[in-house]
Structure 1
Amino acid sequence: MLEVKALPLEELRRRTSEKWREYPEDVLPLFVAETDFPLAPTVAAALHDAVDRGDTGYIASRGPLADLFAAFARRRFGWDPDPARMRSTADVSMGIVELLRCVTQPGERVVVMPPVYPPFYELVAEAGAEVERVPLRDTGTRWEMDLDGLRSALQDGARAILLCNPHNPTGTVHERASLEALAELAEEFGAAVVSDEIHAPLAQPGTGFTPFLAANDAARRVGYAVVSASKAFNLAGLKCALMITAHDETSAVVRSLPVEVEWRTGQFGLLAAVAAFSEESDPWLDGLLRTLDANRVLLEDLLARLVPGARYRVPDAGYLGWIDLRPLEWGENPSRRILRDARVALQGGTPFGAEGKGFVRLNFGTSPEIITEAVERIGALVAR
């Protein structure tokens, strides 16, 4: 297993991506979902080789990506998706929009489960549908789907459910039984489920991550999954995702999409994804998961010691910490005060839905030193 360590701050500040260009250099940026690690060696080599041979044209109509993802899913999740039922597109968001356009009519309602990734609201609107909110339930120890609320929404006419699995921002890996029940509800009411599984490769070992299409037969009949290497391997700018189905009817829907949906896949994104999903990249991914495991626990310790009153539940997956700062009484959007007075940029909770008021999302996909300094700066506000 490789040791995966974040790059030094001075090197990170040479990057030109959103994370490192949005704020002045005195701000520690822990908001947008980019990580601070070097590229996996396999991915870097694939991109360098492509540049060397000038391989910058259109994506090929046939290639190894689907087969490699299927093998990746077998190794990592015990899931055996059919490569013939996969089709690429530019990114997960584009895949979601195109699928929602297929499974809903203009003005029909799509269920989302806040607090949830803010673009979900915009993607539903882009597809011509309307958002129906069924918030997650906070049991006091974990977040879970409100199956009764989902039933009510479907009974009332909602035509699709947009699932985040694992969930962003809470980092929740939904239990298999909940996914099975969701699929059965959707089938009962003739609704579709579109599952965003971009954080799936970042589910920590032992958390029991279940791909939606692997949950049960009902999920295979009603479901669509959209997956990508972009979050785990930090490839968001390269543009490649896969839309996956597991049944003849849903596969026919994906096949009916215009060829341009697939041609929007980036050539570099495809080449990078091929490298990322190869077995040769597993040691790097395992090393990344170990680093993130240490970071998620470090964040818990730092908050407990330095920001008394902050409430944080160690996430099952990903590198995003969902932190409840309501006990500090810093208002509906405490990220504003933290940016102004501590010079730490976090994602405010309100764009995730009304359930995010008083919360912040902190990206711990970085070095322990940066995490520590960020929480120390926030803690100094409490000490005042």
Structure 2
Amino acid sequence: MNNFDANIDRKNTSSVKWDGMKAAFGKNELLPMWVADMDFRPPQEVIDAMKKRVEHGVFGYTIIGDKTAKAIINWTKKRHQWEIKPSWLMYSHGVVPSLGMAIRAFTEVGDKVLLQSPVYTPFFNMIESNMREVINSPLIFKNGRYEIDFADFEEKLKSGVKLFLLCSPHNPSGRVWSKEELVKMAELCREYGVTIASDEIHADIVAAPHRHIPISSLDPSYSNFIVTFMAPSKTFNLAGLQSSFIVVQNPDMKKKLEEIQKKEGFHTLNTFGIMAMEAAYEYGEKWLDDALAYIKENIDFLKKGIEKELPELEVIEPEGTYLVWVDCRKTGLSEKELRERLIEKGGLAVNFGNSYGQGGDGFIRINTACPRSIIEEGIKRLKLAFS
């Protein structure tokens, strides 16, 4: 039986979320509701697989075998109705490094790379650190929901964009893009000769009735210009094991990515990352369904608590991810004042909206993949911060 209510002490484990607050917020004595990892133990089968490997006691170089590919293929078919082939798979230490690889593989220095803000901060970082130009097509916030400005999206593509970084499901807004939206983005990118690098790391964390659709699965021809990044890290709380995979059907695109990996000296994944990925995808489905139900209850609890105690805040209920985007603009507080209220007065660590680019000012991102008691305490601290 999974006990998601258990408060597991993560302090002094080199946890970014629990031990890294001083660097980010100036103090560690805060309630951490930031960073997209869970406070849950992964499926017991994952822990058992790693224990068994530890007991073996020899940790030499490890190959990524057929068993890993089979586990991924079975998972994507069952959870996303996407049938992929072993020859389409590549591996990486993480989705962010994979985005960097895609930028280097499919663009040149100075080229334009498109994103849709507010969006996951490393999108900006990876474009800029690789000396490419950020082109932004901001999402439209309308009636409590984010939409794509397709007229602007097309104008930006026309401007000479070479690569589009798609965030699907979208972080931080929680949108799960519809089939119609995905097809329209894909068709426009095809029309203007733009490659798509699709970050689908939150693919498995979607609330019914919404369903994640891998964009590359919508049409066989999309494989000519789309590469997809996925991982078990968000799904099963395995981020520290640094294992992800890439789905790339086009042989020429795959060759370009392999050339980048060769230059970086990438050879294989961490032994325990391989073991955990295989075990999670083979045995983790019941655990995930239970976790999704618990997270949904957490989100509902947070939303009701904020509506009752802080009606000036608006919760953007996520269709996917366990991250809740909250609109604080009606408080009239500046970004600096928001930080002071939440950190100094409320003792609460959240992610602040300005780090997600245009459209993020006045918003905060709250992580709900934690025991219910943390949600309860978080609501109290939010109330204190805004009192």
Tell me the TM-score normalized by structure 1: 0.94
- Whether 2:104 is the aligned partner of 1:105: answer no
Task: Tell me by how many angstroms 1:65 deviates.
Answer: 1.7
Inter-partner Cα distance in structure 2 for 1:289 and 1:184: 32
Question: How much identity, in percent, do the aligned residues show?
Answer: 27
Q: Is the 8 A contact 2:5 2:373 kept in 1?
A: no
Contact 2:113 2:133 in 1 (8 A): yes
Corresponding residue to 2:366 among 355, 362, 368: 362
Mapped contact 2:63–2:268 kept (Cα < 8 A): no
2:19 is matched with 21
The structural deviation recorded for 1:55 is 4.5
| Superposition deviation, residue 221 in structure 1 | 2.0
CA distance in 1, matches of 2:265, 2:154: 32
Instruction: Confirm or deny: 8 A CA contact 1:349 1:360 kept in the other structure.
Output: yes
**Using the alignment, how far apart are the partners of 2:59 and 2:151 within structure 1?**
50
Count of aligned pairs: 380
Alignment of 1:29-178 (within 5 A): 29-178=32-181
Alignment correspondent of 2:24: none
Contact 1:4 1:291 in 2 (8 A): no
Give unpaired runs (5+ residues) of structure 1: none
* Alpha-carbon offset, residue 124 of structure 1: 1.1
Q: Offset at 1:252?
A: 3.6
- Pick from 232, 239, 244 the counterpart of residue 241 of structure 1: 244
Distance 1:15 1:7, change over 3 A: farther
Secondary structure in 1 matching 2:335: coil
Q: Is the 8 A contact 2:114 2:161 kept in 1?
A: yes
Q: Deviations over 1:70-96 (max 9, x none)?
A: 110111111112221111011111111
* 1:353 positional shift: 0.7
In the TM superposition, residue 136 of structure 1 has moved relative to its aligned partner by 1.1
Q: Is the 8 A contact 2:204 2:212 kept in 1?
A: no
Mean alpha-carbon deviation: is it higher for 135-144 or for 194-203? 135-144
- Report the equivalent of 1:179: 182
Matching residue of 1:200: 203
Deviation at 1:56, TM superposition (A): 2.6
Q: 1:380 to 1:214 in 2, by over 3 A?
A: same
Check whether the contact 2:216–2:228 (CA below 8 A) recurs between aligned residues: yes
Distance 1:206 1:86 in 2: 29
1:46 is paired with a residue whose SS is helix
Q: Which of the numbers 230, 233, 244 marks the counterpart of 1:227?
A: 230
Alpha-carbon deviation of 1:63? 3.7
TM-score of the pair, normalised by structure 2: 0.93
AA in 1 matched with 2:53:
A
Separation in structure 1 between the aligned mates of residue 372 and residue 230 of structure 2, nearest angstrom = 29
Contact 1:306 1:379 in 2 (8 A): yes
CA shift in 2, pair 1:164/1:370, >3 Å: same
Give distance in 2, aligned partners of 1:115 and 1:321.
13
The corresponding residue for 1:339 is 343
How many angstroms apart in 1 are the aligned matches of 2:274 and 2:147? 34
1:266 is matched with 270
From the superposition, tell whether residues 336 and 50 of structure 1 become closer, same or farther in structure 2 (CA, over 3 Å). Answer: farther
Q: 242-251 or 78-87: which moved more? A: 242-251
CA separation in 1, counterparts of 2:64 and 2:11?
A: 38
Letter in 2 for 1:239: Q
User: Secondary structure at 1:200's aligned position in 2?
Assistant: coil
Tell whether the 8 Å contact from 1:332 to 1:350 is kept in structure 2 after alignment: yes
Q: CA deviation at 1:186?
A: 1.0
3-state SS, counterpart of residue 88 of structure 1: strand
- Displacement of 1:300 in angstroms is 0.8
For 1:239-260, what per-residue CA distance to the aligned partner results, in whole angstroms no more than 9, with x for missing partners?
1111111334433433444345
Unaligned runs of 5+ in 2: 22-26
CA drift of 1:127 comes to: 3.0
Question: Greater shift after overlay, 230-239 or 25-34?
Answer: 25-34
Contact 2:353 2:361 in 1 (8 A): yes
Contact 1:173–1:207 under 8 Å retained in 2: yes
Amino acid at match of 1:381: A
Alignment RMSD (CA, Å) = 1.8
Q: Distance in 1 between matches of 2:255 and 2:134?
A: 26
Cα displacement (A) at 1:196: 0.5
* TM superposition shift of 1:166: 0.5
Q: How many angstroms does 1:261 deviate by? A: 5.7
Aligned CA distance change for structure 1 residues 55 and 77 (closer, same or farther; 3 Å): farther
Quote the Cα distance in structure 1 between the aligned partners of 2:62 and 2:183.
Answer: 36
Other structure's SS at 2:245 match: strand
Equivalent in 273, 287, 291 of residue 290 of structure 2: 287
- Counterpart CA distance in 2 for 1:353 and 1:4 is 37
